[in-house]
Amino acid sequence: MLNVGTKLTYADYLKTSDDERYELLNGELVMPPAPLLHHQYVQIKLSTKLDAFVEKRNLGVVYPTPTDVVLSDTDVVQPDILFVSNERSHILTRENVRGAPDLVVEILSPATAERDRTVKLDLYAQHGVKEYWIVDPDVGTITVLLQGGSGFDVISVYGEGETLRSQTLAGFSVALQEIF
């Protein structure tokens, strides 16, 4: 039995059930509920666009959730979508991603929105994710953040009628009406 306040590690995380979806955040095991249908719709639309772009140009790989991203021994996340460039392919293992992806996408849901905007934003910045998209399916916006000098800087908030562009994936663009 663990003592109250004991931080769990990646070794503890590996002992969790394969039938459940967990993340390990600052040593605490978190089990978010299944996302809403609209969340899943947005995820498939956006991941399909990203994957087609990356695949056509042979830039790297795109993975949807659940894909474990081991940021540290006490931080294992499962972003909704992630991209790892060919240049950083050394962080890909048979089991998981060991280090910061180039691009991470989190799609907000009622159970995870606050965590995605705070705890995970800080983790992604601390561990060197280059670009982070926060997708809000309820209002139809995507906030694009880039790694700056001391964390992430908001580059743009794309909304209805606008076209998102990525700096990490040069040349990638998608009209938001194709996603929402």
**Which pLDDT value is given to residue 47?**
98
The domains located in the chain, with CATH, are 35-178 (3.90.1570.10)
Strand order, beta sheet including 28-30: 28-30, 23-25, 75-77, 69-72, 97-98
Q: What is the pLDDT of residues 148-165, one digit of tens each?
A: 988 999 999 999 999 999
pTM of the predicted protein model: 0.89
DSSP 94: S
Separation CA 45–CA 31 (nearest Å): 25
Q: What is the pLDDT of residues 24-33, one digit of tens each?
A: 999 998 887 8
